[in-house]
Amino acid sequence: MSTAIPWSVKPHPVTGIPNAKLGIWLFLASEVMLFGALFSSYILIRTGSEQWPMGRTILNIPLATLNTVILITSSVTMVMAWASLKMNQFGKFKLFQTLTILLALGFMVVKAFEYGGKLHHYEVTLVEGSEAADKAGALKITGHIDHATAGNGGAITSWIRSRDDLHDGKISFVADPPAGSHEHPAAIELAAEDMERLTFFGPHRDTFFAVYFTLTGLHGIHVLGGIVVLLYFLLPGSRMWRTDPERFTGRIECTGLYWHFVDLVWIFLFPTLYLL
């Protein structure tokens, strides 16, 4: 008797689907539990916090909207890629698969810009009663660092993560425009000793950013994983089309299911993080 695995291509007469498709659905069920647990944690932390910033006041909505459009489009091209195989048009499949990958990469590039913006956006907590605090009129100001000089007078060009990176130097700090305006106030000089805490908008800044970076980061890893799989089936994996087209089509279908799920997660992330 042959040892080939039954129902690895043909649908099982009772369940109506082949093995791989059942497998991917089960995998997605576990993914739902994973993101479900993370969303629940988010809700728990948010309801337990004293104050929670509105995502739209800190995050970049236009970029995120662009990304939403990109990702939804990529889901469409993914479906087209699979449909092309179904219609036996391998050339078209290659085209749509490539498009999907390009869109996914586009998503990651936009994401990188978004992350980059956060990593170069700073918050300074000034020492209570210091001259700088008087001048700034507030204890906490946000903005970006125009340039920084170390204690010995040399310029600091590397990325500044905390006050310690200043080496007792000072920064020229450009505060964000006040609400309702687009004009940045003039830069102010802040010495290291004026500051209690200097931090960029990274995951450690507060629980909002912790949630933001963790959820979008994990989603980004899923996108990257998707890109790897898509590339595999575009290049070396596509050889199977010649030997076993039916199985190949099945694999593209499963990839598509995964890809739609990744898309769906983003559809949840976008409103909960950016809008609410």
As given in the structure block, the two tokens for residue 64 are 């995120």
Shortest gap between Cβ of 111 and other proteins (angstroms)?
Answer: 17
Shortest gap between Cβ of 190 and other proteins (angstroms)?
Answer: 17
Q: Which is nearer to other proteins, 129 or 180 (CB)?
A: 129
Shortest gap between Cβ of 200 and other proteins (angstroms)?
Answer: 12
Shortest gap between Cβ of 10 and other proteins (angstroms)?
Answer: 7
Tell me phi and psi for residue 191, to 5 degrees: -90, 155
Residues that bind other proteins (CB under 8 A): 1-10, 12, 15, 18-20, 22-23, 26-27, 29-31, 33-38, 41, 44-45, 48-50, 162, 197, 199, 202-207, 209-210, 213-214, 218, 239-240, 243-244, 247
Q: Which is nearer to other proteins, 123 or 176 (CB)?
A: 123
The H-or-E segment that residue 143 falls in is: strand 140-149
CA angle, 223 then 228 then 229, to 5° = 95
Shortest gap between Cβ of 222 and other proteins (angstroms)?
Answer: 12
How far, in Å, are 200, 206, 209 from residue 50 at the CA level? 22, 12, 15
**Nearest CA-CA partner of 198 in 220, 223, 221, 170:** 170
Shortest gap between Cβ of 168 and other proteins (angstroms)?
Answer: 17
Q: Which is nearer to other proteins, 53 or 271 (CB)?
A: 53
Q: Which is nearer to other proteins, 111 or 205 (CB)?
A: 205
Cβ neighbours around 4 below 10 Å, total: 7
* Residue for token pair 């006040």: 178
HSE value, Cβ hemisphere, 13 Å, CA-based, for 154: 6
Name 195's bridge partners: 126
> What dihedral do alpha carbons 184, 190, 192, 195 form, nearest 10°?
-70
Q: Which is nearer to other proteins, 121 or 247 (CB)?
A: 247
> What dihedral do alpha carbons 165, 171, 175, 176 form, nearest 10°?
-40
Shortest gap between Cβ of 181 and other proteins (angstroms)?
Answer: 28
Q: Which is nearer to other proteins, 98 or 125 (CB)?
A: 125
Q: Which is nearer to other proteins, 44 or 275 (CB)?
A: 44
* Residue for token pair 């070396």: 236
